[in-house]
Amino acid sequence: SQLLQRLEDSAGAEGPPNPSVLLALNLAGAGACSHCKELLQRLKETAVERAAKDMTSGELALYVLAFLSSCQSPRHIQALGGTVDVLSWLQRRTDEEVAYLELEGAPQTTFYQLSLDVMALCLEGTGIYELAAIKLAKELLGAGDQLSVDTRAAAALALTCAYGRAGTEGLMELRELLGEAVTGVANGFLDLQQQQNGLIGNIYSTGLALQALTATAVFYAPREWDCGQAFSAVLEQHLDQPTAIAQLLPALLGRTYLDAAGLYCGTGTAAPVARGVTAAHEAAPLITVYYSVTNELRGAPFHYSTRVCVAAGAVLLAVLQAAQEQDPAHF
């Protein structure tokens, strides 16, 4: 896969370490690449040096996501003879963002960074992010299309996580607000994709938007997403910016930043590399397959349907595997 190779090469590039690159490589199952351990160590060193000094909330959030995807506790990062609790600093910066937002009507940095903050705190599961999520949802409902595609995509991912946690905690009023905001973003992205023949915004924003659509299917149902059109459109372009590739690659594999905290943390470094999937996306156009299972012969009758994206010419087994990954309870 050319995209994966470019991302692996960028992991060893000189300059400040990029947490988005390590996050994407881990989500792609490529966390054992030759440069990945080196990149992880450089991220740890940078966190120890800068977390308490000059890192913005969004930077801290991306570091938390990268560490979570690497099976590292962001509360206890060690390097250069020192230790830092990155999560605590993220919480502090997020609280500052919200306080500034309440006073000035805008966050200290950007709504994009605030979205990353909510996402990281929600995924880690121990932070306080509900007020930030409420502010974010209200901004989406109020400003809507005035926000950039990147911001709306990151916000949709963050609020999808918060929506799930609100349900488990019985916060139904909060859940309703978050669901309304995410539904608006998801449907807006589907409209944009139709208008722009596959792209959502531009080539650099589409990757994160595809992650958002991957994570928010329940919010735009019963509308259907032509993911094949989107993937084909974006792969026709030449991407060479590491951050843009890092946002796109997880979506091509059916993953999102919301999977960062759920990767395999056994004796190996990560889940098996899905190189074949990436290669298939680049070698052949993607198609959308509607797959249904119906039983009217034995036992209680049932009918389950799903929609998956596979490469054109894929065998039936690939469809069955994709359906099982998407909805293991029914397929």
* Distance from the Cα of residue 111 to its chain's centroid: 16
Q: Answer yes or no: is 219 a known binding residue.
A: no
On whether the CB atoms of residues 151 and 110 are closer than 8 A, the answer is: yes
Smallest Cα–Cα separation from 144: which of 179, 188, 210, 97? 188
- Residue 225 Cα distances to 148, 204, 286, angstroms: 21, 20, 13
52 vs 88: CA distance, rounded Å: 10
Q: What string of DSSP letters covers 122-156? A: HHHSSS--HHHHHHHHHHHHHHGGGS-HHHHHHHH
* Look-up of token digits 């991912």: 157
* 231 assigned to a ligand binding site: no
**Residues 260, 69: contact at Cβ < 8 Å?**
yes
Tell me whether residue 110 is annotated as binding. Answer: yes
Is 91 labeled as ligand-binding? no
Q: Is 247 annotated as a binding-site member?
A: yes
Question: Given CA atoms 185, 160, 107, 42 in this order, what sign does their dihedral have?
Answer: negative
Is 226 known as a binding-site position? no
CA distance 223 to 235: 24
Q: Chain centroid to CA 76: how far?
A: 23
Annotated ligand binding at 168? The verdict is no
Helix (H) or strand (E) holding 92: helix 86-104
DSSP per-residue codes, 154-202? HHHHHHHHHHHHHHHTT-HHHHHHHHHHHHHHHHHHHHHHHHTTT-SSS
63 is in an annotated binding site: no
Annotated binding site, which residues? 109-113, 150, 202, 247
Annotated binding site for cyanocob(III)alamin, which residues? 109-113, 150, 202, 247
